[in-house]
Structure 1
């Protein structure tokens, strides 16, 4: 990601008005007025030139003069800004200078090519005047793809990372999503994993400690899972201003994720209806539909009235036995995404009434983090990524916490590559046989690749407790079903 001035028309995007250029897709001639609308074959050739130019720049940062000049002529003919062809100009900059393009970028890759019905009338008129919608769409799509997927090599600055994240946000909007939505769930799709991997590579190429030491540069950073992973790994080497800026970024990320997860947990009912307790005979509990249905035989055709022999009421009493949720997190460093999400999720459930939440982290040793379970920020600062994995140490802390097995759930988050696999499985199997609800959660890396020991995966499946992998929503659903 080379640094050049963000000037419209920089590099190849200069003034090429009146130029006739020949590209790999055939002759491309600038035309004005009504002649700007090319025939079907001409549109296909122009799209081909733009996409060949995109592929060439993705695989080789050096410009191909004929493709560049042909693409400039096409963009100019469409009445689009030349900055669309300059990869050093961000999509944000293009939109700031040409606000009318913002609506075209949003949903760009959702609307089928040639569908002009979704564009505002003024834009449709403009398209009819200067060229085909398909060619225009190709030019805009090429801009987003080039800016997002051509990340170059070498060191990356905070400004470059922030610019890439903004471009990725526009790319996600082009797919009909919110900015950050696709990168926020890398395991949900292959494309999400690719974007998260690119972001992780950029973060890895940053001189992060130097950036954090400069408050102005640190403010340019946008929290992401890849960045949080790097901060957690390097926090022991930070101090002073750099450590304070790192903590601020972690806090921002935790708060943003917590807001999303809290919405998913909303309206979780704690405790099933207790039908052994008679319903309260008050008007607000009256089950009107059931009352009418049960008394239909008392309908009097002569009086045109329904005579009610008995009123029916809804049960509202719930069992009040507290549910105990024990979250066990493998902090060996191979499952940062799951650790961050589930640590935050534990704090949210800890805020619900009648839910007693405990939190244990382990590598070769185990640490009881229950005193800080309400504050995931503090929990993350106390985790130590890296090292070996011995889940038997965590089992020794968990066993005394299981007071009422049938009212306890153990969420075990790991990739299950254990130094003593049989011992860990035997311990979890014993808990399951005793009546504890065991929910194994697989590791998900920041790149979106699921990494779960197949030996454990098969044995959990045989036990009737398959490993949950993928989006955190699956775990939220499992926990809500246990608590309801």
Structure 2
């Protein structure tokens, strides 16, 4: 990088108020594209610039001007930078209300933090913007679904199918590892291979023997990102015949959203982000849903800021675990994956032998595979904690 290029970068970082200083140093000449970048950044980070003054009567920012600005961002900067800048625009310039304008929603780069904000404001969305809001949420769902669906299906199907075998022959269904282990005594030194006496095949699990997954999801204000990931995971699992899935949302009240699991967008719009927290009441409701404890995975997904009966909550978790249910506590994540939770409550739950950790979305398939296989999740939780520290 030449000295001139370095100077231009510093000029863009420091903003237009530094132009006089650079002129005194001999001056620099920004390209046309760099001038556009400078103006776009100045609207958010400059001392005096902004979006005010284009609404006709009255003061305040202009939705059309912001929409044009957002369009410029997408042509000038990489996608990752666009999401950072537009989030700063919403927070630093107090533009949350403009998220509800159709022109804004159509130009926003899909971003999970903005989707969380939009879900929290969904009850205030005017009729003219409802379709645009739904399309914006759909973009996020599609992105996360592409990230997770195939791996979750692979992990769950591979694990559950290994639990049962069939005598119906099918080359694609051969369980090679199990077949080899059961026929090691049939090894032929002359041929250097195993001659199996019996071949074992995977079988579909009968409905009466299905696994049951219950997702108990906190919908308090800090839970936006976690709610999005939980909803998409729930819908993927609900579409699999080997699993029965229930989704329960709670604040100080309980909402059973299981019937909305056919469509992750419908499920997301069923949540009411921003209420209080009564984990004890929600677990009491979920206990009534359990049919076969030994084949039930219970996920408590929460920031653990309990506003109800903390002692009762801990007793219910302990009782659930003692009955044979696999209990997992997933901590709230925010700001791109950082955990947010009540540390004291997390420690109390962990002391019961329940794994408590924040799980990156990309690791959900691994988590499900280990949980269905009956593996100890302590090592997995420790690995997640190490990733957080890094």
Same-fold call, TM cutoff 0.5: yes
> How large is the Cα RMSD of the aligned pairs?
3.7
Larger radius of gyration: 1
**Deviation per CA, 1:27-86, whole angstroms, max 9, x where unpaired?**
xxxxxxxxxxxxxxxx775566445435533xxx5133242576865x78xxxx453355
2:17 is paired with a residue whose SS is: coil
The question of whether the paired residues in 2 share the 8 Å contact of 1:392 and 1:424 is answered with yes
Question: Is structure 2 residue 337 aligned with structure 1 residue 379?
Answer: no
Greater helix fraction, Structure 1 or Structure 2:
2
Q: Superposed, which structure 2 residues align to 1:201-350 within 5 Å?
A: 201-204=88-91, 205=93, 207=95, 209=97, 212-213=100-101, 215-268=102-155, 269=157, 271-274=160-163, 279-280=167-168, 285=174, 294-297=186-189, 299=190, 311-317=197-203, 319-320=205-206, 321-350=209-238
Per the TM alignment, residue 232 of structure 1 is displaced from its structure 2 partner at its CA by 1.8
- Residues 293-336 of structure 1 show CA distances to partners (whole Å, capped at 9, x for unaligned) of 93424x3xxxxx89998644234236542011101111111110
TM-superposed deviation, 1:478: 1.3
Q: Look up the SS of the partner of 1:257 in the other structure.
A: helix
User: How far apart in 2 are the matches of 1:409 and 1:260?
Assistant: 23
46 and 217 in structure 1: CA distance in 2 versus 1, 3 angstrom threshold: closer
Equivalent residues, number: 349
Give the match's secondary structure for 1:334.
helix
Give the aligned partner of residue 99 of structure 1.
Answer: none
Instruction: Provide TM-score, normalisation by structure 2.
Output: 0.75
Contact 1:251 1:377 in 2 (8 A): yes
Tell me the distance in 2 between the aligned counterparts of 1:432 and 1:44: 63
Does structure 1 residue 479 correspond to structure 2 residue 368? yes
TM-score, structure 1 length as denominator? 0.62
> Which of 318, 321, 324 is equivalent to 1:429?
318
Rate the CA distance shift 1:167–1:323 in 2: closer, same or farther, 3 A.
Answer: farther
- 2:34 corresponding residue in structure 1: 84
How far off its partner does 1:261 sit? Answer: 2.0
Deviation at 1:417, TM superposition (A): 0.7
- Residue aligned with 1:87, SS: helix
CA distance in 2 between counterparts of 1:287 and 1:163 reads 55
Deviation at 1:384, TM superposition (A): 1.3
C-alpha contact 1:410 1:437 (8 A) present in aligned 2: yes
| SS at structure 2 position matched to 1:64 | helix
